[in-house]
Amino acid sequence: MFDANVIQVKFANWTLCTRSCSLISDFLTQELTPLSYKILCYFILNPNRIISRDEFVSSVWANHYVDDNAINKAISDLRRLLKATEEAPNLIKTHYKKGYSFTSEVEFIREQHSFSQKDTQEQVISSASNKIELNSIQDETEKQSIEGSSGLELLKNKAKKYKVIKPKLVASVLSISILLIGLVYWWQQQPQTLHLQSKKLSISDSSVYAFLSLSPANDKLAVSKLDTKSGVDEIFLIDLFTHKNTKIISEDFDSYHIGWASNSNSIYYQVINNEQEFCEVWRADFLVNNEVSHKEKILDCKSQYILSLAADEESNRVIYTKFGYRNVPSLAALVARDLSTGDEFQVTSPNLDSFGDRYVTLSPDNEKIAFVRVQTGLRQIFIANLDGSMQKMLYETTDVIRHVSWNKESSGLVWYVPTSKNLMSFDLNSEEIISKSVNTDSYVSSMLPGFNALYGATRTSDNDIYLYDSKEKVLNELVESRASEFMPIAVKDGFYFFQEGEPAQLYSYFGEKISKDDISIDLSTLSSGEYNKSNDLLALSFNKELRLFDLRNKDLKDSFVLKHQIVNLSWFNDENLLLVLKAKQGEQHIWLFNVKTKELQKIIHKNAKGVATDTGGKIFYQDFYNNFYLFDPQEGLEKKMLSLSDYPYVIWELHDGYLYYSTGTNLFKYSIDTNQETYLLADFDINEKLITDFSIFESSDGVKFILQIHSFKSNEVVLFEFI
């Protein structure tokens, strides 16, 4: 913040020591937190000037998403440190709706550099020695110049010889060096492979284990297990030395561990039941034998989602994911809660169009938090101070990330990507990212890096493809495998779907037969797709890429790379696609893209999540709050058709004047003309299954539905050992 020679700054009756980041008065010495120190330094460097909140956010927090509560608290904390006296009244002045100013004059004390007599003598001796050595060299040169011509000719011949050899030698050495550097670089770029063998840690069979978390001491593993008889999730503790499994929490409703106390002897867990709108967070303390000795409720969470939590024991507060940010049920922000008073202040402010900040975890030195900002098609890893200051985005990816782990020294983060089966690490000092491919003897859905070992769970669930006849009320499973099938797309007389892999595999269903298609997708996953019956083109998108496949000739017709991420797409006509594009500011507007001229035209400026075209050429779209609108591009008129804002999760498709939609466990048919709604899954129970996508399939028997259903399966908790 200051010149390197500044060791103290004096103002009023205070002295700031820059080397120790401490504040000294006549009676007190106190060390400042990193945030308080940085704010005070910024005030000192800008005295008697109004500093706006925006300037503080950009200069001190280095982040554009800082909540007002975080700024208020930071200024309040600094004011408490700079206690007002008669000699030094309030040094930080508030200017209504303008900002703050620092009202004291400052004096900088710089370090003085002086030389001792001994240092001076050594410098004189060194200088004299250099002078004597230089004179000797000059004398030797003069002596050589007086020698005969034969010696001079000999020197000339040697010079000619070296003149010929030296360039060749340098070129050879340079070529070899470049080759070696290239080989080393190539080797470093090759993904390292970890060959792992799994060793079972869980003791019971036919159970679903999920939500693994390691204790700060890396000696216990907490895991949620579904009781197959009661259908309720319970919490087990696995001792990583003895591998003993102990049930520590069993409630009437589902319970999930969401965080640890720093001493590894207490755990925070959530009790939740969405049907009864019940959600509580508790703390449980347990003894050496892992038996629970005390339980205490710490807050009512009012959430339909499973939280994450980091415990700041020194300040007696927790930082947790609070859902319902800006009145969006699925949007989460990080909030700090004082466990003594119950007071809360916001730590992060995610974008409105995202799913928010999740999976918070505390560093081993208790100084930083890491969390994942979940956006449509993107994941961003952040670190920050415990009060939310100094937020920094470390990494952005289209891969799904559900947990990040700190290393033992708090100098880096590690996470696992199940889709690509890569173990990723990020060094905070060098900002280097290392990717290691994981090869295991079992399919791993989650992997948890510890300080000295790797833990994980085999797949707890996957997506399978079903065919549902709404007339007969019959649900037939078409595909059952441990790999996930996703994104069904209806075409003429059949449909396509994809199976996860490297790359994803395309399958087709025609004549009640499933076959693997020959089209090469060359992508591990996809974000959206739609088929055009008129030109027989299949449009697929992933991140910023758009590809058109000719289903007649089974080949790639065209591909495009856009400047912005493609969130959703729909065919508008044979030459134009409707694209929901995400800008850097988080806005998601609807554009018209001509596949022949490559021209883009923004046609709807409101934020949208999904878009479709009806048979009359009108545009149907979904906003961030799950409201649905019908837009006439000819008249420029818009009409709100349906509001599903009470549901956090809605998937839908437009077909022949009807809006078909699902909230996960049901399927509805809504008439755009009459506004009447029909429940298509009446008297049908899919138990522990969740509809995550669907498409409408027209067959000779009538309209049927291809459902992508997410279901739970039994699995194991395992320790991974290197082969």
Question: Cis ω on the peptide bond leading into residue 216 (within 30° of 0)?
Answer: no
pTM: predicted TM-score of the whole model, two decimal places: 0.57
pLDDT beyond 70 at 145: no
User: Is-contact 414 425, C-beta < 8 A?
Assistant: yes
Q: Is 493 left (phi over 0), alpha (psi -120 to 50) or beta?
A: left
Q: What pLDDT was estimated at residue 142?
A: 42
| C-alpha to C-alpha distance for 19 and 82, rounded to whole angstroms | 19
Q: Counting runs of H as helices and runs of E as strands, what totals does the chain give?
A: 5, 55
pLDDT beyond 60 at 144: no
500: confidence class by pLDDT, cuts 50, 70, 90? confident
153: confidence class by pLDDT, cuts 50, 70, 90? very low
**Range name among 55-64, 78-87, 165-174 with the lowest pLDDT average:** 165-174
Which has more pLDDT, 221 or 128? 221
pLDDT per position as a tens digit, 404-449: 999 999 999 999 988 778 899 999 999 999 999 888 877 788 889 9
Q: Give the whole-number percent of the chain exceeding pLDDT 70.
A: 85
pLDDT beyond 50 at 660: yes
User: Is-contact 608 623, C-beta < 8 A?
Assistant: yes
| C-alpha to C-alpha distance for 210 and 231, rounded to whole angstroms | 14
| C-alpha to C-alpha distance for 371 and 253, rounded to whole angstroms | 27
Cα separation of the two ends of the chain: 50
Q: What pLDDT was estimated at residue 139?
A: 45
pLDDT per position as a tens digit, 308-350: 999 988 889 999 999 998 888 889 999 999 999 999 999 998 8
Which has more pLDDT, 712 or 614? 614
Can you read off the two tokens belonging to residue 279? 């959600």
482: confidence class by pLDDT, cuts 50, 70, 90? confident
Q: What pLDDT was estimated at residue 664?
A: 87
Q: What pLDDT was estimated at residue 282?
A: 96
Average pLDDT, the chain: 83
**Residue for token pair 């809504």:** 670
| C-alpha to C-alpha distance for 113 and 121, rounded to whole angstroms | 17
The distance from CA 330 to its chain's CA centroid, rounded to whole angstroms, is: 16
Q: What pLDDT was estimated at residue 222?
A: 95
Q: Give the three-state DSSP class for 40.
A: helix
94: confidence class by pLDDT, cuts 50, 70, 90? confident
pLDDT beyond 50 at 467: yes
Beta-sheet strands, E only, within 588-723: 588-594, 600-604, 610-613, 619-622, 627-632, 637-643, 651-655, 658-662, 668-671, 677-679, 689-699, 702-712, 717-722
The distance from CA 117 to its chain's CA centroid, rounded to whole angstroms, is: 60
**Range name among 12-26, 216-230, 532-546, 602-616 with the lowest pLDDT average:** 12-26
